[in-house]
Chains A and B, each alone.
Chain A
Amino acid sequence: MTTVAATSHPAPAHHDDRSFIRKYVFSTDHKIIGIQFLFVSLFFLLVGGLLAMQMRWQLGFPGKPMPGGGVLPETMAPGGVILPEYYIQLVTMHGTFMVFFAIMPLLVGVYANFLIPLKIGTHDMAFPRINMWSFWSFFAAGLVMLASMFVPDGAARAGWTMYAPLSARHDYSGASIGQELWSVSIILVGLSSILGSLNYITTIINNRAPGMTWFRMPLSVWSLFITAILGLLALPVLSGAAIMLLFDQIIGTHFFDPAAGGQALLWQHLFWFFGHPEVYILILPAMGMVSDIIANGSRKPIFGYHSMVFAIVAIAFLGWIVWGHHMFVSGMNPTLGSSFMVSTLVIAVPSAVKTFNWMGTMWRGNLRFTVPMLNAVAFVAMFVIGGLSGIFMAATPVDMFIHDTYFIVAHLHYVLFGGSLFALFAAIPYWYPKMFGRLMHEGWGKVHFWLTFVFYNCVFFPMHILGMGGMMRRLYDPSQYTFLQPYQPMNVFISISAFLLFATQIIFFVNFWWSLKKGKPAGLNPWQDNGLEWTLPSPAPHGNWDRVPTVYRGPYEFSSPQVPEDYLPQTRKLPTDREPAAATAARH
């Protein structure tokens, strides 16, 4: 009756006689590549967290020897006491690893790769070998960035934003080859993103299964599609800027050095022209996956699907014309301050629309609080705080005061951690069964969720207050300023909460690794979801389908009156369904 693969034995797409190396190491299978990104990015997430823990030690207990600090060399922390130049390396590397090697690859490298072909109904990406290069250039970039922390004179230290001329001239920063390796790594990571984007865009445009029209694609795929376009256009700007910076650093050009005719602000314009679309790259996939998970958890269609799509497109489009809001007090023409303020305030609107639509999805739903659903709802609750705090910064006069303070740090962590990372804590257990054939432990997942939620807010909410008080960013020792000394107890509170937050993540990591072998075996569709991937065995086989399925409806037909179950898969053919008019891709 049904074309849903409810068969009891999984049928491999074709006989798989690849060697171990071809299957798991130099693989062109989008699912393996996605899993490779997952393992490597989770490692870098841990690295980023360790760097943050050292920063929080110094901020909470300035000048005190750090437990375990004895393993660090004299040039970083003599006697375990963090040096100022090491502190700013920590700041720089924390931001760099988290943005480029954790969040971006976790959202895009993992889920664009893993989900797109599965969710649109095709065997693999349009260019599988280019896809493989996308992972390996990312891996190489990560190695280079890690190496940069262990070279003479230490790592880059001008902040993850790498403002010139501090970053361009070694006599200003005190670093040497570490700064250059940062540039090289970023060029490689840009390459990885660009190669990935080529695949995601082409595959979605060309290789959708019959019946998978644009407006039957899940929001996760829409968001990954738009994100890929952002990446394709934005990363080359970063790579170009990084190349110019590298040239300034090693071959004697002076693009960014005013002492020799260059322009300091040029770096900022180039970086933020990339940087602002980048932050939408860091949130849109999260929003898309959360949409899928909330609809599933509410057993209701997504509220306002078309509005959601238009909101994604609007955010992406507007994201190109707001970059100057990072530069209001930079010395840029103040008239630009006015224009960037307008565009920045406007971009708040589509995000608001999405928030209301998520709430509309939950309204009158039948909510199931699985671990993914808990994290997805927390995403909405936390992202909203991050988005609202952004409005303070958008108002240029207020920004003059809170720019480069902890108010900004609070904002960025609410959107990146409260937003993107909670979305990942939802997505990882959600698609884990399709990746590995097992479920992550639900009980420990809930413990992890609640502890993370509490400690996370204890760490980042007080930072709004610190910022309002005028505490600047990237300060090795705030107590040097008399007006900041009264805030020190708050810094201690934040640091202790941060240590507890980090410790809590051990639960997630152990759950992840343990469940690989010991998790409950998942059936085909443990969440009773409608997407195409849930018609395949868990884990999905190489090549996905023997014959691509046909799609008869959108992805959010939960609690449909047409069937007694509260879900209705996209590929299930009902007697009233007609075959789609033409295939969007040749059947193969």
Chain B
Amino acid sequence: MRWWLPFKASTFTGPIDGLFLAILIITGIAFVLVEVGLIWFVVKYRQRPGRKAFYTHGSTRAEVIWTAIPAVTMVALGLISNHYWVQMKGRNSIPPNAYPIAIHAKQFEWQITYPGPDGKLGTPDDFTVRNQLHLPVGRPIVVLLSSEDVIHSFYVPQFRVRQDAVPGMDIKAWFEATVPGTYELGCSQLCGLGHYRMRAQVFVQTQEDYDAWMKQAAQEASS
């Protein structure tokens, strides 16, 4: 069982895992300050005969310090996070040469349409496969998400990528897989009784393997 984030298999893991760790450190410091402080106070200031509490209504200086430090930290965190957010999800974030795959989510399967040997979606050599997502490694992929019925969500933990597929909307999400292997795509938005079984296998392959698979799959589809 892993105690940390999943195996890193995409270019997004750098920024996301890095941010996660940074936040863990910042919140960890705050956590230790507060919890140790509380325990310390609970022990040190417990009621004992003859003790009297220190009568004070507060300290403006303390208020300023402990308002300013969190505020500055949050603003800095926001600026850094936004930089990566725009890179990953921004309106113009999709790399121009990203390889397109259309994924139509439906209760309770993923209908994956490949662009076929010509590499373009919307041409006659496209074909659709159920629940099997083959991807070439090392190049940006753009997934064109749509939904047949309810809201589903495209989620591959090892890629750190997640995007809801909303009926009535065509939504693009991009990512780049970095490690060949087999992964799982899960539905990450409650979509009905089969939600827990709405999964696809994800095969990240070298470009040669991918091309070979593409050739064979396209042949099978057209026969």
Q: Is there direct touching of A and B in the complex, by C-beta distance under 8 Å?
A: yes
Q: Taking the complex as formed, is B212 at the interface, i.e. its CB lies under 8 A from any CB of chain A?
A: no
> When the two chains form their complex, are residues B91 and A334 in contact, meaning their CB atoms are under 8 A apart?
yes
Give the distance in Å from the alpha carbon of A395 to the alpha carbon of B24 in the complex: 12
CB distance from A554 to the nearest CB of B (A): 9
A470 partner residues in chain B, CB cutoff 8 A? 6, 155, 157, 186
Bitwise, A363-407 to B at CB < 8 A (1) or not (0) is 111111100000001001100110011011011111011011100
> When the two chains form their complex, are residues B196 and A341 in contact, meaning their CB atoms are under 8 A apart?
no
Q: Taking the complex as formed, is B214 at the interface, i.e. its CB lies under 8 A from any CB of chain A?
A: no
B34 partner residues in chain A, CB cutoff 8 A? 355, 359, 380-381, 384
Give the distance in Å from the alpha carbon of A473 to the alpha carbon of B30 in the complex: 28
CB distance from A505 to the nearest CB of B (A): 24
> When the two chains form their complex, are residues B196 and A397 in contact, meaning their CB atoms are under 8 A apart?
no
Give the distance in Å from the alpha carbon of A478 to the alpha carbon of B197 in the complex: 9
Selected from A84, A377, A465, the residue in CB contact (under 8 A) with B3 is A465
Give the distance in Å from the alpha carbon of A364 to the alpha carbon of B86 in the complex: 47
Whether A400 contacts B192 in the complex (CB less than 8 A), given A300-B53, A465-B3, comes out as no
> When the two chains form their complex, are residues A486 and B2 in contact, meaning their CB atoms are under 8 A apart?
yes
Q: Taking the complex as formed, is A468 at the interface, i.e. its CB lies under 8 A from any CB of chain B?
A: yes
Give the distance in Å from the alpha carbon of A395 to the alpha carbon of B183 in the complex: 26
Interface of B is mostly: mixed
> When the two chains form their complex, are residues B53 and A299 in contact, meaning their CB atoms are under 8 A apart?
yes
> When the two chains form their complex, are residues A342 and B78 in contact, meaning their CB atoms are under 8 A apart?
yes
> When the two chains form their complex, are residues B91 and A335 in contact, meaning their CB atoms are under 8 A apart?
yes
Name the CB-closest residue of A to B28: A388
Q: Taking the complex as formed, is B189 at the interface, i.e. its CB lies under 8 A from any CB of chain A?
A: yes
Q: Taking the complex as formed, is B144 at the interface, i.e. its CB lies under 8 A from any CB of chain A?
A: no
> When the two chains form their complex, are residues B70 and A348 in contact, meaning their CB atoms are under 8 A apart?
yes
Most A CB contacts (10 A, CB to CB) among B12, B35, B74 go to: B74
A384 partner residues in chain B, CB cutoff 8 A? 30-31, 34-35
> When the two chains form their complex, are residues B66 and A356 in contact, meaning their CB atoms are under 8 A apart?
yes
CB distance from B173 to the nearest CB of A (A): 9
Bitwise, B9-20 to A at CB < 8 A (1) or not (0) is 000100110011
A490 partner residues in chain B, CB cutoff 8 A? 1
Please tell me the size bucket of the interface on B. Answer: 35 or more
> When the two chains form their complex, are residues A329 and B151 in contact, meaning their CB atoms are under 8 A apart?
no
Give the distance in Å from the alpha carbon of A337 to the alpha carbon of B164 in the complex: 14
Name the CB-closest residue of A to B154: A329
B90 partner residues in chain A, CB cutoff 8 A? 334-335
Most B CB contacts (10 A, CB to CB) among A88, A262, A483, A490 go to: A483
A388 partner residues in chain B, CB cutoff 8 A? 27, 30-31
CB distance from B15 to the nearest CB of A (A): 6
B157 partner residues in chain A, CB cutoff 8 A? 401, 469-470, 483
B189 partner residues in chain A, CB cutoff 8 A? 163, 404
B160 partner residues in chain A, CB cutoff 8 A? 400-401
Selected from B47, B66, B93, B195, the residue in CB contact (under 8 A) with A476 is B195
CB distance from A261 to the nearest CB of B (A): 9
A84 partner residues in chain B, CB cutoff 8 A? 193-196
Q: Taking the complex as formed, is A252 at the interface, i.e. its CB lies under 8 A from any CB of chain B?
A: no
> When the two chains form their complex, are residues A172 and B107 in contact, meaning their CB atoms are under 8 A apart?
yes
Q: Taking the complex as formed, is A357 at the interface, i.e. its CB lies under 8 A from any CB of chain B?
A: yes
Give the distance in Å from the alpha carbon of A109 to the alpha carbon of B34 in the complex: 31
Q: Taking the complex as formed, is A271 at the interface, i.e. its CB lies under 8 A from any CB of chain B?
A: no
Q: Taking the complex as formed, is B67 at the interface, i.e. its CB lies under 8 A from any CB of chain A?
A: yes
Bitwise, B198-219 to A at CB < 8 A (1) or not (0) is 0100000000000000000000
16 additional A-B residue pairs with CB within 8 Å, beyond A307-B67, A360-B59? A157-B193, A258-B166, A304-B58, A307-B63, A329-B163, A331-B163, A331-B164, A348-B74, A366-B47, A366-B51, A367-B41, A388-B27, A472-B188, A556-B57, A559-B55, A561-B55
The 4 closest A-B pairs by CB, nearest first: A258-B168, A470-B157, A304-B58, A364-B54
